[in-house]
Each structure stands twice: as structure tokens, then as C-alpha cells.
Amino acid sequence: MQKLIAYPLSIIYYLLFGTTLVIFHVIQWICFNLFGYNAHKKSVDALCFFLVLNTYVLGTRYKITGREKLPANIPLIIAANHQSWYDITTIGWFLRKIHPKYVSKIELGRGIPSISYNLRHGGSVLIDRKDGKQAISAIRHLSEYIEIHRRSAVIFPEGTRSKTGKPRRFAENGLKILCKYAPSAYIVPITINNTWKMTRWGSFPLGTGIKIEVIIHDPIPVKDTPFPQLFEKTEQVITQAIH
């Protein structure tokens, strides 16, 4: 019965989703080209608000804990498990105050209204997973960017989504580069629960009545901890809180 109800709700959702992307693609272009970073950032915040709002059609609910733990005016490295595309919109809206920038695969940098534009122009980096040298250079650029501007880099160390919620083994290279070139940063481990259920039946229909949970754990100063211990602790903290 739940899946049957999901079909019409998913149609409504996708109509809202597509309309949002098209409208905000134009808004982003105007803000970025005529008014600069701050205006573009506000347009992206509004985009994320509406992308999250659209999911309420599906009965989606959100629970965010630990936002008070986020340090102010310090570069942050957000390390999170990865379950679906909804991880990104959730972080984009609920953690908007820390200016999240993403380590994203290069394929997402083209062809998607609003999303691709923001990834190309909003401070995120696109990596070619088949080209290790390019990926290292891009991540280094992002780490230097957050160090200078005191913003946040978001990385999913699993590298790809877990379609069942069960965490994959974390890869250390991306985190290691971010820590090396943003030495004043704090790593903030984040656990995301249940976004995989949004696509448990694939892209259509979408899951309904899902409660998405984001748990922000205690930040860890990069400079005070040797990287092997930092990496192990980050992975352990994140995975232990996955339901």
C-alpha cells in the first residue's frame, strides 16, 4: 500500500523538483554574474531550502542534532557517510551557515540545472576518479580555499553511495589531502541515517514517510592529532552511529 501511494506523490515531487532546478538555475546565473559570491550563496541557500521543502510532499521529516558543536570562523572538514543524493541537499540547507563546498565527481558538473552550475561556480571541486593526479590537485585547491576563507569542505570518504545504509570502507586519500593543506581546520564527523530509504525502490517511486537523521559529532582539531588516529577515529565515530 505504501508503495502504491508513493507513485502519485513521486510524480508531484519530481514536478516540483524539476521546476525548482530550472528556476534557480536562472537565479543563480544572475546572482553570480551580476552580484558576486554573497548573492550567489544566498541563491544556493534558497535553492536548498526549496529542494528540502519539496521532499515534504513525500512525508519526509528531518532531525538534526549537534549544530551547536560547529565552531565559528574556522575552516571545517565535514566527513560523512553517503547514502543518497539527499545527503547533499540536507547538508546544503541545514548546515548553510558554514558555507559547505563539496568534493564531487566530475560527471555532476554538467547537464543538471542548478546543481551543475553551483558545483562549477560555488567553490566546490569536481574530481575525475579515473585521474588520480587531477583529483589530488582539485582537493588540494579546495583545502587551500577553506583555509583562506574559513569555509567548509564536505567529503564522503566512502567514495560512492551505500544503497542499503550499510557503510562501505572509508578511503583515506581525500581526507589526508584536506587535512594536510588546511592545518587549522577541524574535522567534523557527521552520521546520516535513512536517506538511502528515499531510493529504496530506485528513482521511481521514491520512499515516503522517511525520517532523515543527521548527527553532528564533536569536532576534532587537525593539528592536534596524527592523521592515522584522526582517520580511524573519524570513521569509527561516523559508522557507530549508523542505524
At 92-145, the pLDDT tens digits run 999 999 999 999 999 988 999 999 999 999 999 999 888 889 999 999 999 999
Asked whether the predicted pLDDT for residue 37 surpasses 90, the reply is yes
Q: Distance of CA 101 to CAs 54, 152, 236, Å?
A: 22, 6, 23
Indicate the pTM of the whole model. Answer: 0.93
**Which region among 54-63, 129-138, 203-212 has the lowest average model confidence (pLDDT)?**
129-138
Rounded to the nearest integer, the mean pLDDT of the chain is: 94
- β-partners of residue 126 are 104
Share of the chain above pLDDT 90, in %: 87
Q: Across residues 178-191, what is the average pLDDT? A: 96
Q: Across residues 49-65, what is the average pLDDT? A: 98
Asked whether the predicted pLDDT for residue 167 surpasses 90, the reply is no
At 161 the pLDDT is 77
- Examine residue 205 and say whether the peptide bond preceding it is cis (omega within 30 degrees of 0): yes
Identify which has the larger pLDDT, 132 or 155. 155
At 9-33, the pLDDT tens digits run 999 999 999 999 999 999 999 999 9
189 vs 234: CA distance, rounded Å: 6
* 77 touches 175 (CB < 8 A): yes
